[in-house]
Amino acid sequence: MSIFRRSRGAARSRPGDRTSIASTIGAGQIVAAVAGLVIASVVLLAYQFVSLRNASTNEARVQAGIIADNVTASLMFGDREAAADMLRPLHFATDLMSATVYDSAGQRFVSYVPGGQAQPVQDLAGTIRVEAPVDYRGRKIGRVELTMKMTSLRVGLLRYAVFLALTIAGALAIVMPIVRRTRSRVARAERELDYLAYTDPVTALPNRRATYLRLEHELALPDARLALLLLDLDNFKVVNDTLGHSAGDELLRKVAAALRDAVGDAGVVGRIGGDEFAIILAPLARRGAALEVAEAVAASLRVPFPLEQGEVFASASIGMCVYPDDVAGSTELLSSADTALYAAKNGGRNRVVDFRPEMTFATQRRARLERELRKALEAQALCVYYQPQFDCSGRQIIGVEALVRWPHPEHGFVSPAEFIPIAEETGMIVELGRWVLQRACHDVAGWLRAGMPELSLAVNVSARQLREPGFIDDVTRALADSALPAEILELELTESLLMENVDAAIEFMQQIRAAGIRLSIDDFGTGYSSLSYLQSFPINQLKIDRSFVQLLPQQGETIARAIISLGRGFGLTVLAEGVEDQAQLEWLRAAGCDYVQGFLLGKPMPAADILARFAADSRSSAAA
Which chain residues interact with ligand C2E by CB under 6 A? 387, 402-404, 415-417, 420, 433, 436, 460-462, 522-523, 546, 577-580, 597-599, 604
Q: Is the CB of residue 352 less than 8 Å from the CB of residue 320? A: yes
In 10 A of CB 134, how many CB atoms?
Answer: 26
Judged by CB under 5 A, which stretch of 50-58, 434-442, 456-464, 474-482 contacts Ca ion?
A: 456-464
Nearer to ligand C2E by Cβ, of 256 and 436: the residue is 436
Q: Is the CB of residue 545 less than 8 Å from the CB of residue 525? A: yes
Nearer to ligand C2E by Cβ, of 246 and 415: the residue is 415
In order, the DSSP letters of 349-373 are SSSEEE--HHHHHHHHHHHHHHHHH
Q: Of ligand C2E, Ca ion, none, which one does residue 256 interact with (CB within 5 to 8 Å by kind)?
A: none
Q: Kindly state the smallest distance separating residue 550's Cβ from Ca ion, in Å.
A: 12
Q: Kindly state the smallest distance separating residue 602's Cβ from ligand C2E, in Å.
A: 8
Three-class DSSP category at 595: strand
Q: Kindly state the smallest distance separating residue 558's Cβ from ligand C2E, in Å.
A: 21
Q: Kindly state the smallest distance separating residue 5's Cβ from Ca ion, in Å.
A: 55
Nearer to Ca ion by Cβ, of 327 and 423: the residue is 423
Q: Kindly state the smallest distance separating residue 492's Cβ from ligand C2E, in Å.
A: 6
Enumerate residues 487-546 that contact Ca ion by CB under 5 A. 492, 522-523
CA distance 329 to 326: 10
Q: Of Ca ion, ligand C2E, none, which one does residue 77 interact with (CB within 5 to 8 Å by kind)?
A: none
CA distance 436 to 461: 10
Main-chain dihedrals φ then ψ at residue 111, nearest 5 degrees:
-145, 160
CB proximity list for 426: less than 8 A, separation 6 or greater:
370, 374
Main-chain dihedrals φ then ψ at residue 280, nearest 5 degrees:
-105, 115
Nearer to ligand C2E by Cβ, of 273 and 470: the residue is 470
The residue among 96, 98, 103 whose CA lies nearest residue 79 is: 103
CA distance 202 to 196: 11
Q: Is the CB of residue 279 less than 8 Å from the CB of residue 297? A: yes
Q: Kindly state the smallest distance separating residue 351's Cβ from Ca ion, in Å.
A: 26
Nearer to ligand C2E by Cβ, of 135 and 580: the residue is 580
Q: Kindly state the smallest distance separating residue 546's Cβ from Ca ion, in Å.
A: 6
If binding means CB under 5 A, how many residues of this protein chain bind Ca ion?
4
Q: Of ligand C2E, Ca ion, none, which one does residue 599 interact with (CB within 5 to 8 Å by kind)?
A: ligand C2E
Q: Kindly state the smallest distance separating residue 423's Cβ from Ca ion, in Å.
A: 15
Q: Kindly state the smallest distance separating residue 603's Cβ from ligand C2E, in Å.
A: 7
Nearer to ligand C2E by Cβ, of 354 and 522: the residue is 522
Q: Kindly state the smallest distance separating residue 421's Cβ from ligand C2E, in Å.
A: 9
Nearer to ligand C2E by Cβ, of 281 and 517: the residue is 517
Q: Of Ca ion, ligand C2E, none, which one does residue 415 interact with (CB within 5 to 8 Å by kind)?
A: ligand C2E
Nearer to ligand C2E by Cβ, of 198 and 385: the residue is 385
Q: Of Ca ion, ligand C2E, none, which one does residue 604 interact with (CB within 5 to 8 Å by kind)?
A: ligand C2E
Enumerate residues 224-243 that contact Ca ion by CB under 5 A. none
Q: Of ligand C2E, Ca ion, none, which one does residue 279 interact with (CB within 5 to 8 Å by kind)?
A: none
CA distances from 349 to 53, 118, 288, 489, 621 (A): 94, 111, 21, 35, 53
Q: Of ligand C2E, Ca ion, none, which one does residue 578 interact with (CB within 5 to 8 Å by kind)?
A: ligand C2E
Q: What angle do CA 478, 483, 484 make, to 5 degrees?
A: 75
SS3 content of the chain, % helix, strand, coil (to 5): 55, 20, 25
CB proximity list for 479: less than 8 A, separation 6 or greater:
441, 485, 486, 489, 517
CA distances from 357 to 280, 293, 323, 337, 367 (A): 20, 22, 13, 11, 16
Judged by CB under 5 A, which stretch of 143-151, 323-331, 380-388, 457-465 contacts Ca ion?
A: 457-465
Among 203, 240, 438, 460, interactor with Ca ion by CB under 5 A = 460
Q: Kindly state the smallest distance separating residue 597's Cβ from ligand C2E, in Å.
A: 6
Nearer to Ca ion by Cβ, of 338 and 523: the residue is 523
DSSP H or E run through 577: strand 573-577
Judged by CB under 5 A, which stretch of 204-212, 355-363, 454-462, 505-513 contacts Ca ion?
A: 454-462
> Interface with Ca ion includes 95 (CB under 5 A)?
no
Q: Is the CB of residue 58 less than 8 Å from the CB of residue 162? A: no
Q: Is the CB of residue 400 less than 8 Å from the CB of residue 490? A: no
Nearer to Ca ion by Cβ, of 113 and 600: the residue is 600
Three-class DSSP category at 403: strand
Q: Kindly state the smallest distance separating residue 338's Cβ from ligand C2E, in Å.
A: 27
CA distance 441 to 14: 65
Nearer to ligand C2E by Cβ, of 247 and 600: the residue is 600
Q: Of Ca ion, ligand C2E, none, which one does residue 549 interact with (CB within 5 to 8 Å by kind)?
A: none
Q: What angle do CA 383, 388, 389 make, to 5 degrees?
A: 135
CA distances from 277 to 218, 291, 299, 333 (A): 17, 16, 15, 15
Q: Of Ca ion, ligand C2E, none, which one does residue 387 interact with (CB within 5 to 8 Å by kind)?
A: ligand C2E
Nearer to ligand C2E by Cβ, of 219 and 459: the residue is 459
Main-chain dihedrals φ then ψ at residue 277, nearest 5 degrees:
-125, 155
CB proximity list for 302: less than 8 A, separation 6 or greater:
313, 315, 350
Q: Kindly state the smallest distance separating residue 394's Cβ from ligand C2E, in Å.
A: 13
First to last CA, the chain: 89
Which residues contact Ca ion by CB under 5 A? Answer: 460, 492, 522-523
